[in-house]
């Protein structure tokens, strides 16, 4: 188990890995880190790092796209956006090969804890959630509950696939 004290999110980006598409939807901008986003990411990181279910892993010998992209981010933070796209592309390729891997949003973040830099890669599998819908029908107000198929895990829910470097 790693230290989970004082996680400070420095950078974050989100890419869409929709297995129904031909390619991932890759953003060209970092996620704005406001108080709500910081809390959302921090809670998921702390919960994941503190979980008894987490396991230590190691990159296999040699060069891999994910390993090299993470090394590039640590070496030069200016590579963050492009390196995150490389990671997302690689994970999307793996998803397309395995029908058991569900669509998700991929969050890659750079954070500090105890004065050390870390990279978090969180695959946020879509959760069915519900929202309200307000519309006018025949000049009358109609409110209904509708399913939302691409909801993200809430702060109290567990992220099932993540990696911390």
**Does residue 92 form part of some domain?**
yes
Total domain count for the chain? Answer: 1
**Does residue 135 form part of some domain?**
no
**Does residue 50 form part of some domain?**
yes
Confidence of residue 3 (pLDDT cuts 50, 70, 90): very low
**Does residue 14 form part of some domain?**
yes
Surface-to-core class of residue 2, CB atoms within 10 Å of its CB (0-12 exposed, 13-18 middle, 19+ buried): middle
**Does residue 2 form part of some domain?**
no
Q: Which two structure tokens, joined as six digits, stand for 110? A: 């750079």
**Does residue 65 form part of some domain?**
yes
Confidence of residue 165 (pLDDT cuts 50, 70, 90): low
Confidence of residue 87 (pLDDT cuts 50, 70, 90): very high
Give the pLDDT of residue 1. 40
Give the pLDDT of residue 153. 63
> Could you say which DSSP state residue 25 is in?
B
Share of the chain above pLDDT 70, in %: 89
Most confident of 4-8, 9-13, 53-57, 93-97: 9-13
Give the pLDDT of residue 143. 92
For residue 67, give the 3-state DSSP assignment.
helix
**Does residue 111 form part of some domain?**
yes
Average of per-residue pLDDT values in the chain = 87
**Does residue 17 form part of some domain?**
yes
Share of the chain above pLDDT 90, in %: 56
For residue 157, pLDDT over 90 is answered with no
Surface-to-core class of residue 30, CB atoms within 10 Å of its CB (0-12 exposed, 13-18 middle, 19+ buried): middle
Residue 4 contacts residue 42 (beta carbons within 8 Å)? no
Domain housing 68: 8-125+153-164
**Sheet of 161-164, strands arranged across:** 8-17, 104-113, 116-125, 161-164
């Amino acid at each position: 188990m790693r230290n989970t004290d004082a996680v400070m999110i420095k950078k974050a980006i989100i890419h869409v890995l929709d297995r129904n598409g031909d390619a991932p939807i890759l953003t060209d901008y970092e996620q704005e880190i406001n108080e709500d986003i910081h809390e959302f990411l921090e809670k998921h990181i702390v919960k994941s790092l503190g979980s008894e279910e987490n396991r230590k892993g190691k990159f296999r010998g040699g060069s891999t796209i994910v390993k090299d992209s993470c090394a590039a981010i640590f070496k030069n933070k200016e590579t963050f956006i492009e390196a995150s796209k490389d990671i997302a592309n690689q994970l999307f390729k793996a998803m397309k090969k395995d029908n058991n891997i569900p669509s998700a949003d991929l969050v890659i973040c750079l954070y500090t804890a105890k004065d050390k830099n870390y990279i978090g890669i969180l695959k946020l599998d879509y959760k069915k959630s519900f929202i309200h819908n307000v519309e006018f029908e025949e000049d009358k107000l109609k409110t209904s509950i509708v399913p939302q198929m691409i909801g993200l895990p809430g702060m109290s829910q567990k992220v099932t696939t993540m990696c911390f470097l």
